[in-house]
């Protein structure tokens, strides 16, 4: 189980971008019913998460800030087939409080430029390809060593007006090695009020529509940002890794047609901070056991509650 969680974390970044920019974009089956100019592929999302916990009576917390912008540079709709190309920019900040400097610092950040392309072969079949180069470190001596490269390719299949799924593979070059894993996407309108979507086994969301403006539900997610961050040369260029499995109840309210706010509360069932030597690596996970890299230099494990607030704008 430990190894499984570790390699899933490695694809969080690319899967998150793919999920938010492609999986949640206007479905192909809906695009056939509206003009291309009305299809909303652009989005801006930002959120803040606070996770407090105590160890031996000492209060600590993890604060996370995320912001993602996706811009459609190209979109074309013809005979129910939607092609598009999205360019985005993403930011993820991770800030520790109460932990001291045992992890080589308390501020870790990542900046990414996701590129997503969809080519529809028919109204039923579409290929989605996503590439995400990312700078992920403490940003104290930025260089090419701070780069993480991720990518994914998925075939999206529309079975009906209410159900579509995607199958594919994701690759990520992380500080601890390379990862290659299968991924599965789903977009299912169960009823007029209930829907389920996600990119498994990374994240999923069950949504119940209370009214035209409000909804609530349950969402699950693995990891934070890219999952790992390179430290400066002063810290031997070691890498810091975060692992989480979080389940949250959420409430979403649309303040305007394209603008909504969301508040969430839940629990981190897995919450683990690790510091590894730069040479502790294992390539081609899960074909090779990630546990072979050895024990971390420093480790902190503690579950706890999490609260989150965010905004979402579609255009």
Spell out a b/e string for 193-231, using b for 16 or more CB atoms within 10 Å of the CB, else e: eebbbbbbbbbbbbbebeeeeebbbbbbbbbbbbbbbbb
pLDDT class of 4 with cuts at 50, 70, 90: very low
Is residue 218 over pLDDT 50? yes
Looking only at the bridges linking them, the beta strands covering 107-112 and 115-120 are unpaired
Measured CA to CA, the distance from residue 148 to residue 90 in angstroms comes to 14
| 232-252 pLDDT per residue, tens | 999 999 999 998 899 999 999
E-strand ranges in 175-258 read 177-189, 194-200, 203-209, 214-222, 228-230, 239-254
pLDDT class of 23 with cuts at 50, 70, 90: very low
| 124-182 pLDDT per residue, tens | 999 999 999 999 999 999 999 999 999 999 999 999 999 999 999 999 899 998 988 89
Range of the domain at 219: 2-314
C-alpha 273, offset from chain centre: 18
pTM of the model: 0.89
Q: What is the mean pLDDT of residues 102-109?
A: 95
| 25-75 pLDDT per residue, tens | 444 444 545 666 678 899 999 999 999 999 999 999 999 999 999 999 999
3-class DSSP state for residue 288? coil
Average model confidence (pLDDT) across the chain: 87
Specify the pLDDT at position 36: 62
C-alpha 152, offset from chain centre: 13
Please tell me the total count of domains within the chain.
Answer: 1
Specify the pLDDT at position 287: 85
Specify the pLDDT at position 34: 64
Measured CA to CA, the distance from residue 182 to residue 287 in angstroms comes to 12
Measured CA to CA, the distance from residue 145 to residue 103 in angstroms comes to 19
| 172-204 pLDDT per residue, tens | 899 998 988 899 999 999 999 999 999 887 889
């Amino acid at each position: 189980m430990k190894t499984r969680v570790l390699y899933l974390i490695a694809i969080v970044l690319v899967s998150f971008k793919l999920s938010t920019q492609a999986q949640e974009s206007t479905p192909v089956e809906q695009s056939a019913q509206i003009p291309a100019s009305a299809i909303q592929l652009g989005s801006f999302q930002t959120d803040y998460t606070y996770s407090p916990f105590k160890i031996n009576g000492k209060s600590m917390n993890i604060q996370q800030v995320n912001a993602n912008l996706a811009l459609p540079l190209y979109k074309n709709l013809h005979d129910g087939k939607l092609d598009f190309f999205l360019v985005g920019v993403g930011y993820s900040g991770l800030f520790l409080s109460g932990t001291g400097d045992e992890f080589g610092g308390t501020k870790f950040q990542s900046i990414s430029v996701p590129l997503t392309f969809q080519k529809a072969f028919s109204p039923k079949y579409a290929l989605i390809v996503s590439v995400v180069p990312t700078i992920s470190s403490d940003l104290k001596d930025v260089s090419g060593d701070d780069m993480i490269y991720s990518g994914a390719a998925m075939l999206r299949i529309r079975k009906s007006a209410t159900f579509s799924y995607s199958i594919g593979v994701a690759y990520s070059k992380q500080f601890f090695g390379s990862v290659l894993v299968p991924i599965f996407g789903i977009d299912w309108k169960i009823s007029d009020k209930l829907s389920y979507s996600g990119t498994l086994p990374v994240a999923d969301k069950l949504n119940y529509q209370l009214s035209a403006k409000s909804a609530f539900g349950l969402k699950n997610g693995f990891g934070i940002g890219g999952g790992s961050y390179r430290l400066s040369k002063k810290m031997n260029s070691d890498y810091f890794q975060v692992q989480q499995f979080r389940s949250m109840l959420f409430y979403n309210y649309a303040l305007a047609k394209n603008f909504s706010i969301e508040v969430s509360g839940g629990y981190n069932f897995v919450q683990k901070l690790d510091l590894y030597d730069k040479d502790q690596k294992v390539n081609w996970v899960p074909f090779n056991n990630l546990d072979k890299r050895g024990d971390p230099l420093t480790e902190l494990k503690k579950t706890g509650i999490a609260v989150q607030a965010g905004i979402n704008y579609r255009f």
